[in-house]
Structures are given as structure tokens and as C-alpha cells.
Amino acid sequence: MRGFPPIQIFLLALTFIVLAVPLSHLTGTVTQAKTAAVKVVEEKSVKALVRLRYAHKPVTLSVKIADKELMAGIDASPIELSTALAAVKDGVDVFLSATWADGTPDTSITLELEPDGFASRSETRWSSAGSLDEVITFEWK
């Protein structure tokens, strides 16, 4: 047995109208969301001590942290430098490059970074063919 089509169409339209009223109230009313105030956290700089140790004195030596050159001159090993680091918890990249005179055997440079309030970290790199060009990342977790 089949139903009467005009009644079926009427019931279908009535169903859509009944559903459309609550949906229009849910989607039609737009309220402006309040934007949360963004806290700007100032990055506190941390004082740090940088130590360099090497077995053979290099001809040129460059130590950079955040594009800031730390070396003023090449002294006898070990060299101690003081600097300020911006964000220690995110890690610190130290750009180290050095060259040695011809005939110098492969040698090592030890770089130690000791920020205030954090543990000291040390990394050693070996030169190859009289030169060294490294990016050393120090991380504190």
C-alpha cells in the first residue's frame, strides 16, 4: 500500500521547518568573541661564562653567539669570556671557527658554556686539514 504523495510532501516540509527553527538560532546568531589579552613575556638574559681550551694555538679563532662576536684576541689556552645569553632553555647555538698554521696536526678545541643557574655543558670538536668550522648547540632540559 502506498501513501498519498501530497501528505508525504507536507510532512517532509513540516519536518524541515521544525528542524530549521532551532538550527537558525544556533547558526544565525553571531556574537563577537572576546580576544584574550596576550601576555608578552620578556626574555630575561642570563649571564654566562664561555671557556675555550685548545692544544695548539690557532692562527684565527672566532666564537659567535647570536651573531655577536665574543673573541677580541687569541690568548693562551684556556680563554674565558663573559657574555649574556637571551634564551637558555630553548638552546644556544655557538658558531665556532678556527684555522691553524700549515703543518699543525689535527687538534681539538673544547668549548664549555656555563650559564648562571644552569649546569655546565662542554663539547669537543676536532680540526681537519688545519681548519674547523662548526655550529655547536647546547641544550638544557
Domain boundaries, the chain: 46-138
Q: Which grid coordinates are listed for 93?
A: 647555538
C-alpha distances in angstroms, 125 versus 91, 95, 119, 132?
19, 12, 20, 8
Alpha helices for 29-100 (secondary structure H) = none
- What residue spans of the chain are helical by DSSP H? 5-28
Nearest in space to 118 (alpha carbons), one of 82, 75, 88? 88
Check pLDDT > 70 for residue 47. yes
Question: How many other β-carbons are positioned within 10 Å of the β-carbon of residue 114?
Answer: 16
**Is residue 41 scored above 60 in pLDDT?**
no
Which is more confident, 88 or 108?
108
The dihedral formed by the CA atoms of 110, 62, 85 and 54, expressed in degrees to the nearest 10: 20
Question: Rounded to an integer, what distance in angstroms lies between the CA atom of residue 69 and that of residue 62?
Answer: 7
Residue 11 has a pLDDT of 92
**pLDDT of the residue at 106:** 86
pLDDT at 30: 66
Residues 95, 71 contacting (CB under 8 angstroms)? no
Integer CA distances (angstroms), 7 to 4, 11, 15, in order: 6, 6, 12
3-state helix, strand, coil in the chain (%, to 5): 15, 40, 45
**Average of pLDDT values for 100-105?**
87
Cell readout for 24 is 537558525
